[in-house]
Amino acid sequence: MTDNYLVELTAPDITPYRAGNTGLDYVTTFDSGEPGPHVMVAAVTHGNEICGAITLDFLFRREFRPVRGKLTLSFNNFRAYQNFDPKHPLLSRFIGEDFNRLWSAEMLDRPHTSAELECARELRPLIDEVELLLDIHSMQTSAAPLDAGGPP
């Protein structure tokens, strides 16, 4: 792995969000008390992708709350993010394995374990109840924004 790109943004301190209110570290759900969808905005699925952390920090600081339904803000792979070094960003992409590759039942239910797999297993019940999920990633190369989605 070669760190061949410049990080021009500042990664925010996410430690104020550790306690959350869901029983999961770095996961907070706001319930409007009104009927509506449960929406999740996920950040740092890869520890070196700081745009999502910046976005969630912005939402927390502005006390953004849903008018209907629930909003969950999650710093998914916070363990890898805590190792982020802007001089060597690729070293904090993950600790043991790519968090994005763990979401099949086959992967989640296997006997193997890693920091990312433990986190995915903890998040699984929440992910199963979420109706809409926005997982914010940062690109390491100059590329146009993209949108990748699954079935509605």
Verdict on whether the full-model pTM lies above 0.75: yes
> Facing residues of 74 across strands?
27, 42
Enumerate the H helices of the chain as residue ranges.
51-61, 78-81, 105-108, 115-129
- pLDDT of the residue at 91: 87
- pLDDT of the residue at 106: 93
To which CATH superfamily is domain 15-135 assigned? Zn peptidases (3.40.630.10)
Is the distance from CB of 27 to CB of 41 less than 8 angstroms? no
Rounded CA-CA distance 118/113 in Å is: 6
132-135 and 27-31 beta bridge pairing: unpaired
Q: 3-state DSSP call for residue 108?
A: helix
Q: Report the half-sphere exposure of 105 (CA within 13 A, side-chain side).
A: 1
- pLDDT of the residue at 13: 98
- pLDDT of the residue at 139: 73
Distance, first Cα to last Cα, the chain: 35
The ranges assigned to domains in the chain are 15-135
38-43 and 27-31 beta bridge pairing: unpaired
- pLDDT of the residue at 3: 64
Report the chain (152 residues): mean pLDDT per 10 consecutive residues.
76 98 98 98 94 97 98 96 90 90 92 93 96 87 69 57
- pLDDT of the residue at 125: 96
